[in-house]
Amino acid sequence: MLLTCFSACDRRPVPKDLPHSNGNPGEYTNMSRDMESSPNAATSPYELQFLDSMIVHHEAAIDMAQLVQTRAAHAELKEFARRIISHQQEEVVQMRRLRDKFFAGAPLAVNMTLPGMQMGTHGMDLEKLDSLKGNGFDNEFMNQMIPHHEGAIEMANDALAKLPSEQTNDAEMIGSLRQLAQSIVSAQTAEVKEMRQWQATWTQ
């Protein structure tokens, strides 16, 4: 069961610190428990769908990573979680600023049908993670975070394939989105490799 606390959970410090879009009165995580798409999301500009969907995706990873410090057995995983929180918070700030600059006032456009979005959220179970400690927590965290990362990688690769070249009237926006997508692919591919190495060596 997916615990939908992507914007209101006390343990994620993001919401109070980040700029929110003027056209987004409810939080990005004002989603149903089964993570339905926003109304009419598929008819919104693709760039807006990518931003809103990836923000929700990142905030889910941050929620998961916030559990690590008090539950994990391995120091490596605690440092890994700190990196996830720091890096993905920075990217959420960047995405919200892009949204405010290029799509101010636009309705929320979280699209659960974007390639990778379902993969990244379907197996999340924060309640289960919250109940575990030690090696059991570490292995379950990786079992959930690996497909979550793989979903983000698929979403970012889809964006790189669909976004036009930067030689357009929206060159600044397109350039920023392509750079963001490339960063997501690079960082999260490396993190998946790191987690798979731990899975192969840590005791179940």
pLDDT tens digits for 98-119? 999 999 999 999 999 999 998 8
- Kindly report the average pLDDT of the chain as a whole number: 84
What is the number of structural domains in the chain?
1
Within 8 A by CB and 6+ apart from 80, the residues are 68, 191, 194, 195
**Global pTM value:** 0.84
* Phi, psi dihedral angles at 72 (to 5 degrees): -75, 150
Residue 7 lies in a domain: no
Residue 1 lies in a domain: no
CB atoms closer than 10 angstroms to residue 68: 22
Structural domain including 81 reads 14-201
What pLDDT sits at residue 203?
A: 67
Instruction: Tell me what the mean pLDDT of segment 117-125 comes to.
Output: 82
Q: Is the pLDDT of residue 171 over 70?
A: yes
Instruction: Tell me what the mean pLDDT of segment 154-174 comes to.
Output: 84
Let me know: does 1 contact 125? Beta carbons within 8 Å. Answer: yes
What pLDDT sits at residue 118?
A: 87
CATH of the domain at 112: 1.20.1260.10
Residue 2 lies in a domain: no
The string of pLDDT tens digits covering residues 144-161 is: 999 999 999 999 999 999
